[in-house]
Amino acid sequence: MSSLRIVPRTLSRAGLLRAPRTTAISTSTVAPARAFSTRSNHRQQQQHQQIPRTLKSGASPGVVGALVGGALVGWYLFNNSGSDASSPDAWRKVNYHNVYKDIADLLEDEDYDDGSYGPVFVRLAWHSSGTFDKMTKTGGSDGATIRFAPESNHGANAGLNVARARLEPLKKKYPNISYGDLYTLAGVVAVQELGGPIVRWRPGRNDKTDTECTPDGRLPDAAQGADHVRNIFYRMGFNDQEITALVGAHALGRCHSTRSGFEGPWNASPTAFTNFFFTELLSNSWVPKKWSGPFQYVDKESGQFMMLPADMAFRSDPQFRKYAEIYAADQDAFFADFTKAFTKLLELGVKFPEDAPVYEFKTLE
């Protein structure tokens, strides 16, 4: 991504920059991980849809008019109905490569936060998926109930209305895509376009109603420790290694006092997907932040970067820490484990059509 806005600090790990991927789109192998890339803006070409042809001469004007009128009405309803995604086969009518490009074009905005919507797109995908309960088989990205109250108003989802509003024009442009597919694909686009690994993704999620919203408390509480973290993630079906890989996404973005109550970025490059969450967590000295807000930590040296109480579990808990040390030392190992865990997260509880293709989108240059 271009124009990365950096929190003032000298980065000693700038050597992580590597050559961009050249691997073509595939559904069989995952391309090697790469770091940052730049791209030019891509404008989506409008898709021209033809109105069904009228009958040839020989029919009376009244009959022709009635048939043409009916065809026009049917064509309009098919192409403009916001409920098209409710059809079991609606997902087949979407060009997901075009959707990917359009989401990528929504990422950069110098007037928003650190200059990118990428971090909040990842959070939207994460929170819409992380409500899955393996015992009751409820929650997860299938249904996209995060767009409805009361789920949208749960404390853990504060601020995600920004991401949903940013993506809404694409739902109107591509009415056959489900919200569940749109939100999870946005997370995939953000991870990849901000320099992270290729993430396998497939369509076929359904949209549900507000009657199926999940109860509050299914997402992690940032103020808690290791036991709570495990309870939340074990309920979804993750192990300690997968949990640690997923939390590495905290390399992206920052906390906002107006949303979560906490404040600050985790590292100096909040719009780049790196292993910096782990390197900062383990290499810095962390002290309690002196302020009127909720309890959190800041780095002792500069006070510019923060860690949440739940983050510190990956430093203090022996089982979590052993994986954090691996990822701090080897970004490729982190990328490889993250992409598997993130794909699993996005697919929790989803009953995909048997012929749903698996996409590995090529990043935009």
Which residues are catalytically annotated? 127, 266
User: What does the alpha-carbon distance between residue 327 and residue 275 come to, in Å, rounded to a whole number?
Assistant: 7
3-state helix, strand, coil in the chain (%, to 5): 45, 5, 50
| CB within 8 Å of 179: residues ≥ 6 apart | 85, 144, 147, 171, 207
Positive or negative torsion for Cα 331, 333, 336, 341 = negative
| Cβ neighbourhood burial of 58 (10 Å; 0-12, 13-18, 19+) | exposed
What is the spatial distance between Cα 53 and Cα 28, in angstroms, rounded to a whole number? 41
Cα 185 to Cα 180: distance, rounded to the nearest angstrom: 8
The span from the first CA to the last CA of the chain, in angstroms, equals 9
Asked whether the beta carbons of 286 and 297 are under 8 A apart, the reply is: yes
The Cα 18–Cα 196 span in angstroms is 12
* φ, ψ for residue 131, nearest 5 deg: -90, 5
Nearest to 45 by CA among 3, 109, 102, 92: 102
3-class secondary-structure state, position 329 = helix
Nearest of 122, 136, 118, 147 to residue 218 by alpha carbon: 136
How many residues make up the chain in this entry? 365
CB burial of 28-40 (b: ≥16 within 10 Å; e: otherwise) equals eebbebbbbbebe
Residues whose CB falls within 8 Å of the CB of residue 154, separated by 6 or more in sequence, listed in order: 216, 219
Radius of gyration of the chain (CA): 22
